Amino acid sequence: MAYQAEYIWLDGTEPTPLLRSKTKILADGKEPPVWGFDGSSTNQATGESSDCELQPVFICPDPIRGGDNVLVLCDVHLAQDDKPHPTNTRWTCAKAAKKYAKHEMIFGIEQEYTFLKPNGEPLGFPAGGFPGPQGPYYCGVGTGRVVAREIIEEHTQACIDAGLMIEGTNAEVMPGQWEFQIGAADALTVSDHMYIARWLLHRIAEDYDVVVSFAAKPQKGDWNGAGAHTNFSTKAMREDTDMKAIEAACKAIGKKVDLHIKGYGHDIESRLTGAHETAPYNKFSYGVSNRAASIRIPWQVSRTGRGYAEDRRPNANCDPYTVTRLLLETVCSAAG
Ligand code: ADP
Ligand code: MN
Ligand code: MN
Ligand code: MN
């Protein structure tokens, strides 16, 4: 029997790329081949020379269609010469992961996001108005405290069925906001799984007429933004028991604040204000248990002297290939 392969890739939309996908029907037993698309419709090519190439990089079961059907995450190459397309950030991440492989760096990413009504208001906000202030919604239960749990249930099971490294979910501080976590794994694995999980979320929410927003600050005012806290560790951070490797990593990151902030997602200045459990984007700090620091060291880690640290700055709309690449380059180059 023929089966369906859903080819998924990142487009050239600025400032934040969108996910795109299309379906290929393949004969039983045939592997998903290299394919192409019209880059002039995705801001990745001009009309005169429009062909771009899709190279499969990660394949998993399609939990929506079931059966033998698969999802095929691709990176984009130029059709003329096979070279990676300028929008292909996976390629540069792969280079850094290879260069610093000996440090065995792993990542766990907490993906926050916001459900919106088709008119752009957050789901759970009354038409044209506001719900009660933040407080009861984080990890809440019950009508009036959480919304759209049926989407979370369906998405979580879909991620498990696809074989993704999903670790957990929780309702967030602002109504309509939720989180799931992926990891802990090497840079490419965590990022590949993250993009499939994001695609599944968009796809499942379609069926409910709900919009998924990864905007950093979807609601101005006294409402939390949406981040993608990125937890990271090297082998030394996990194994040495004197905190030195963890502190050295934080110090190295503190020397490259602008570089990291530029790569952590669009509109980060609106989110990292110093309020709403954030540190100001232009002031670097790290500390044990401190959710108002740029980087938090969990208290269990400070007790045992080893483990991981949490960079709380990346936005929900960040590119995980870029965030993990920056952390690889900064932390591992300082570690030698
Ligand atoms: P919180 O909401 O308290 O910040 P979460 O439970 O949402 O924390 O997320 C913790 C994250 O830390 C998970 O993504 C997990 O994979 C990650 N993590 C745990 N141990 C390590 C480690 N040694 N290296 C990298 N990431 C880790
Ligand atoms: Mn979390
Ligand atoms: Mn969170
Ligand atoms: Mn966190």
Could you say which DSSP state residue 195 is in? H
CA of 230 to the centre of ligand 4 (A): 8
Name the CATH topology of 3-87: Ubiquitin-like (UB roll) (3.10.20)
The pLDDT of residue 48 is 81
Atom 3 (ligand 1) nearest CA: 298
Alpha-carbon separation of residue 157 from 63, 116, 160, 167 (angstroms)? 8, 22, 5, 12
What's the 295 CA to ligand 4 centre distance in angstroms? 10
State whether the beta carbon of 232 lies less than 6 angstroms from ligand 1.
Answer: yes
Distance 179 CA to ligand 2 centre (A): 7
What is the per-residue pLDDT for 196? Answer: 99
Check whether 49 has a pLDDT greater than 90.
no
Range list of β-strands (E), the chain: 3-10, 19-26, 35-38, 51-61, 70-78, 106-116, 166-171, 177-185, 211-213, 230-233, 286-288, 295-297, 309-311
Whether CATH 3.90.1150.10 fits 108-335: no
User: Which residue ranges make up each domain of the chain?
Assistant: 3-87, 108-335
Q: Can you tell me which residue has the tokens 């932390």?
A: 331
- Minimum-distance ligand 1 atom for the alpha carbon of 232: 25
pLDDT band at 56 (very low <50, low <70, confident <90, very high): very high
**What ligand 1 atom has the least distance to the C-alpha of 182?**
14
Please report the atom of ligand 1 found closest to the CA of residue 179: 7
DSSP code string of 31-76: PPPPEEEEGGGTTSSBTTB-EEEEEEEEEEE-TTT-TT-EEEEEEE
Model pTM score: 0.98
Q: Is the CB of 196 under 6 A from ligand 1?
A: no
Supply the mean pLDDT for the chain.
Answer: 97
195-214 pLDDT tens trace = 999 999 999 999 999 999 99
Buried residues in 17-32 as b, exposed as e (16+ CB within 10 A)? bebbbeebebeeeeeb
Q: Is the CB of 231 under 6 A from ligand 1?
A: yes
